[in-house]
Homo-oligomer: A and B are copies of this chain.
Amino acid sequence: MLSKFNHKENATVKVLKHLYDLINEGKLKPGSKLPAERKLAEELCVGRTHVRNAFAELEFYGIVKTFPQSGSVIAAIHHNALQGLISDIMSIENYDFFSLVETRLILEMESVRLACERADDKDIEALKLAHKDYLDNFHSPRRVEKDMIFHRVIAQASRNDVIKSMLLIITPDILSHYVTKDFCSTPLPTDKHEHQIIIDAIEARSSSKAVSAMRLHLDRLYTFAKQQKI
């Protein structure tokens, strides 16, 4: 889902919509304090919980800042931009499988590229260990999960926690599609070698080799997602 706040709850999105309208009508000026949680809840006939959820989501995206026992203020950017941001947030719900995979491909390639530059001996050691663990579980149901760990170690070696977190966010979404679409049920023997090639490239500090190896490694998933799209 990627949206930390399930929009199944219509009450929360109702609050967001209301704030959107308030901005539109000019009743809520950018940079100003927004209505108290209680007041807003009463006006919209919803529980304060939903208002707080909406505020929390907006705070996550840096649109509002809440001060304890004082109130919440909305970002001091022009109302057009604010509306766009809130609109985007409300639209975040279900991402299409292809976009998820496409993004993962991008992040994984950059992740391994940075890993080539920044991985130390300890990282490479961990990588080899993860790969060994992967091989040991190649014919077990844990294979998919071990593969995930392998990629996580690469992300760790990239020394970029933001990319690492983003991969952390989208991977579960992709995995959930695996199940429904019945992908990856039968492992390909080529996967074994692909991991090894990536390790060798990182150890040799050859980013070009590592990136192309990663692209190849994820190519099957990519083409699969492309087919699903049609």
Interface residues of A (CB under 8 A from B): 1-6, 56-57, 59-63, 75, 77-78, 80-81, 84-85, 88-89, 91-92, 95-96, 99-100, 102-103, 106-107, 110, 142, 145-146, 148-149, 152, 159-166, 168-173, 175-176
Chain B residue numbers with a CB within 8 Å of A99 are 159-163
* A172 x B92 contact (CB < 8 A): no
Q: Which residue of chain B is the closest to A49 with respect to CB atoms?
A: B49
Shortest beta-carbon distance from A80 to chain B in Å: 7
Shortest beta-carbon distance from A141 to chain B in Å: 9
Q: Which residue of chain B is the closest to A156 with respect to CB atoms?
A: B88
Q: Give Cα distance in the complex from A169 to B169, angstroms.
A: 12
* A145 x B78 contact (CB < 8 A): yes
Given contacts A85-B168, A170-B162, A172-B62, contact A142 B106 (CB under 8 A): no
